[in-house]
Amino acid sequence: MFAKRGRLDRLLSAHFQVPRRDIRTWLVGARIQVDGVVVKDPDFQIDEFSVVACDGIVFQENHRQYWMLHKPIGVVSATWDAKHATVIDLLECPNKDQLHIAGRLDLNSSGLLLLTNDSRWSQAMTAPEQKVSKVYQVRLQNPLVPEMVDAFAKGMYFEYEDHNTLPAQLEIVGTHSALVTLSEGKYHQIKRMFGRFRNPVLAIHRQSIGVIQLDAALSPGQSRQLTLEEVQSIQGRHLDSQ
């Protein structure tokens, strides 16, 4: 499978293990089709989702995959781990080894996790300049105080990164519970922000990313494919149609 977008002749040469001068002869001879159309231009750009055939025989036909997983506590947001079960282990889908995680959750956090094999889509979702909002349910050890709301809204300086966090929304929904909306994802950001008030975080559960909401029908560990509307809620930021 072609991992990145690139020139047709270069990628064909790597796949068939033949010199590029031979590939150019194939192209001139109308032997190569991309997405059902004969292509003769060696500079033609293709990627891992281009349907590519030689002499009418398809040798690459990959489909974009977009998955929602209800991540349980104690499962690692990784494709492999020597000590813990990973989110990939929980999935039941073809070619799951080709998926990557779009926005991780800590080991002891739960909730909405998105996985895909479409790097352009995940980059559009996680790019800092896009400021895609993420909403978290948070449970705390000590009671919340109104002063926290303004502090979150103003942002906080993280000395380690030499970074001022973007304004965050804090909604107090109970004496020890809140909804936090972030548009970035610094290391342990929620825990560190509440840490300024010496209030330990007991639980974090992500309920949404952008307009994509965790499906209430999914139990921890269960997954489903995203709907077209959910995919396009991010897709509008980046790429061509499927």
pLDDT tens figures, 78-112 = 888 888 889 999 998 888 988 999 989 999 999 99
Q: Which of 106, 118, 150, 240 is catalytic?
A: 106
Q: Name the amino acid, one letter, at 45.
A: Q
Confidence of residue 239 (pLDDT cuts 50, 70, 90): very low
- Sign of the dihedral defined by the CA atoms of residues 14, 16, 17, 23, in that order: negative
CB 182 within 8 A of CB 132: no
pLDDT of residue 234: 85
Residues of the chain with CATH 3.10.290.10: 6-60
- Alpha-carbon torsion, ordered 46, 127, 205, 197, to 10 deg: 160
The count of other CB atoms within 10 Å of the CB of residue 48 is 18
> Which of the two residues, 133 and 82, has the higher pLDDT score?
133
- Sign of the dihedral defined by the CA atoms of residues 67, 212, 128, 78, in that order: negative
Fold for the domain defined by 6-60: 3.10.290
CB 194 within 8 A of CB 140: yes
Residues of the chain with CATH 3.30.2350.10: 66-233
- Residue 11 CB burial class (10 angstroms; 0-12, 13-18, ≥19): buried
- Assess whether pLDDT exceeds 50 at residue 2: no
The CATH code of domain 66-233 reads 3.30.2350.10
pLDDT of residue 160: 83
- Assess whether pLDDT exceeds 90 at residue 77: yes
- Assess whether pLDDT exceeds 50 at residue 181: yes
CB 7 within 8 A of CB 27: no
Half-sphere exposure of residue 149: CA atoms within 13 angstroms, side-chain side: 8
pLDDT of residue 237: 47
Q: Tokens at residue 24, please?
A: 């150019």
Q: Tell me if residue 240 is catalytic.
A: no
